[in-house]
Structure 1
Amino acid sequence: MAGHGAPEIKVPDASGLTLGIVATDWNAEIVDQMLARALDAAADAKAVEPTVIRVAGSVELPVVAQALARRCDAVVALGTVIRGGTAHFEYVCKSVTEGLTRVALDESTPVAHGVLTVDDQEQARARAGFADSTEDKGYEAVIAALGAALAIRSLG
């Protein structure tokens, strides 16, 4: 199971940091829960009220993440890609991962990859931060992005 060996989540004091969140409309039940947990994490970390943008699907995440990265200290991309019977899953996952990585490097802004890439709905629910979930990827993505933004800020 993913998450094995993960460090304990330590909520940073991100007072004053700005956060952008871009989330997909696909798989709304899962992504809406992840977004709710991401907003909880931002509040727990005392970040400025996040800017939230919704997009149709995961392929649209990188371009909006880039626009947010130009305005915010940290960005989180949230979505769920569920494997189907075609190669489309691999293309989407690769495109999103490479796109978000490129945005982070090009803009020198942390971009957390909170896009679940799973085989089925059950795996997505297990990672989405529901009361019975084993993982909370929306929350974790915000904590990771804000922590990286604080690390960059500490470099002066």
Structure 2
Amino acid sequence: MAGFGDPHLTAVNASGLRLAVVGSRWHNHLVEAMISRALVAAKECHVQDVAVHRVAGSLELPVVAQALLRTYDAVVVLGVVIRGETTHFDHVCDAVTAGVTRIALDAGRPVGNGILTVESLGQARDRAGGPESVEDKGFAATVAALDAAVTLRALAG
């Protein structure tokens, strides 16, 4: 956690927008907490149409998000990648980040990146939005995506 620069995102009025949330099944208890917090954020932002989908792991998040961006105004991807003893962590993190960025730009629609890329299970717990967490990435990623979708809607007139 950087501990500085947090924009302290608050709910925006995203009524009328459609949102999809996609979570991985790895570290399911943490991702479930993030999904729960994403749904709270959607409700606080007045989003009525929210779909939740699950995929096996973080590598599968971009392709499912890409499909969802065909019919949703914004998508939030949620997952947990914890560094292990091999370079697999680096490859997964790089691929997922590049994939999420590419599909958002290709679709011209926001993808909230709530994928925790951490060194330990403790760091993941600290960010997952649970009762003892100091950060709430599911909520923050959702508000960020909806905020961008509201801005894009305003730009479109």
Q: Same fold (TM over 0.5)?
A: yes
Alpha-carbon distance between aligned partners in 2 of 1:65 and 1:74, rounded to the nearest angstrom:
9
Aligned-partner SS, 1:47: coil
Is the contact between residue 11 and residue 143 of structure 1 (CA under 8 Å) also seen in structure 2? yes
Partner of 2:137: 137
Q: Report the counterpart of residue 153 of structure 1 in structure 2.
A: 153
Scaled by the length of structure 2, the TM-score of the pair is 0.97
Alignment of 1:7-156 (within 5 A): 7-156=7-156
| Separation (CA, whole Å) in 2 of partners of 1:79 and 1:99 | 14
Q: Could you tell me how far apart the structure 1 residues matched to 2:29 and 2:146 are?
A: 25
Distance in 1, Cα, partners of 2:5 & 2:122: 21
Runs of 4+ in 1 over 6 A off after TM superposition: none
* Cα contact 1:42–1:49 (8 A) shared by 2: no
Q: 2-side partners of 1:10 and 1:42: how far apart? A: 11
Q: Distance in 2 between matches of 1:46 and 1:108?
A: 22
Q: Is the 8 A contact 1:3 1:135 kept in 2?
A: no
Shift of 1:3: 4.7
List gaps (5 residues or longer) in structure 2: none
Q: Give the root-mean-square deviation of aligned CA atoms.
A: 0.8
Q: What is the TM-score of this pair, normalised by structure 1?
A: 0.97
CA distance in 2, matches of 1:151, 1:37: 22
